[in-house]
Amino acid sequence: MLVLYSQFLQFPGGSPAANHPVPVSARASNQLAPLFTDQEGMTPASNPYTTDGDGHIVFYAAPGEYETLLAGSYMRIPLDESVTEPVWGAVVVHEESTPSSVWTVRHFFGIRPSVDVRTAQGETVAEVEHPDALTTVITFGTEATGTAYLRR
């Protein structure tokens, strides 16, 4: 299964890396990775990948560790098949459509992210724990559905 990756890239100083080619390779390798425009892997994407006018890259790739080079700096791109939500560089959006009192969210920030929870049930009290630097657990007093936004 291929995993979706999406990121807005910026140059140092904050300006968008608009219409800029960025090579995506396996981590610690100079081999360009196969990228695709669809989850089935039927349509190859160019690599180096050229960002759009806003500096946005979006592609599918096999699970693994990747990196890209932008303005002389390497940026890590982790793709894990257990992550079913789109992977964004600074935000993970977790949709919980089945009522549950415990939501477990895997992310790859390497830090404890800020967490914003919006439930379909309205105002809900939740306990947020970070058992490790890659996982956030949100516990409710009752079952809930909704969305959690995790930010670096």
Q: What pLDDT score does 29 carry?
A: 83
Interior angle at CA 86, CA 14 and CA 19, nearest 5: 40
Examine residue 85 and state whether it is found in any structural domain, yes or no.
Answer: no
Q: What pLDDT score does 99 carry?
A: 93
Residues 118 and 141 in one domain: yes
Q: Which of 54, 79, 104 is the last residue of a domain?
A: 79
Number of domains in the chain: 2
Structure-derived torsion over alpha carbons of residues 88, 94, 97, 101, reported in degrees to the nearest 10: 170
Residues 45 and 95 in one domain: no
Residues 51 and 97 in one domain: no
Q: What pLDDT score does 149 carry?
A: 82
Q: What pLDDT score does 64 carry?
A: 84
Q: E-assigned strands of the chain? A: 3-8, 21-22, 24-26, 35-36, 44-45, 49-50, 56-61, 64-70, 73-79, 87-88, 91-106, 114-119, 126-132, 135-151
Residues 73 and 113 in one domain: no
Q: Which of 60, 79, 98 is the last residue of a domain?
A: 79
Residues 23 and 46 in one domain: yes
Q: What pLDDT score does 87 carry?
A: 52
Interior angle at CA 48, CA 65 and CA 77, nearest 5: 20
User: pLDDT tens-digit profile of 110-137?
Assistant: 778 888 888 987 767 889 999 988 899 9
More confident residue, 90 or 10: 10
Q: Which two tokens stand for residue 152?
A: 């670096």
Examine residue 56 and state whether it is found in any structural domain, yes or no.
Answer: yes
Examine residue 84 and state whether it is found in any structural domain, yes or no.
Answer: no
Whether 2 has a pLDDT exceeding 80, the answer reads yes
Q: Which of 50, 79, 108 is the last residue of a domain?
A: 79
User: pLDDT tens-digit profile of 27-78?
Assistant: 878 899 999 999 889 999 999 999 998 888 889 998 888 888 888 887 777 7
| Reported confidence tier of residue 83, pLDDT bands at 50, 70, 90 | low
Of 93, 134, 79, nearest in space to 111 by CA: 134
Examine residue 72 and state whether it is found in any structural domain, yes or no.
Answer: yes
Q: What pLDDT score does 123 carry?
A: 65
Of 64, 89, 118, nearest in space to 126 by CA: 118
Q: What pLDDT score does 77 carry?
A: 76
Residues 40 and 59 in one domain: yes
Residues 9 and 72 in one domain: yes
Between the CA of residue 11 and those of 69, 83, 92, what are the distances in Å? 11, 28, 22
Q: Give the bridge partners for 121, in sequence order.
A: none
Q: What pLDDT score does 102 carry?
A: 96
Using the Cα atoms of residue 86, residue 91, residue 97 and residue 99 in order, give the sign of their dihedral.
positive
Maximum distance among all alpha carbons in the chain?
Answer: 50
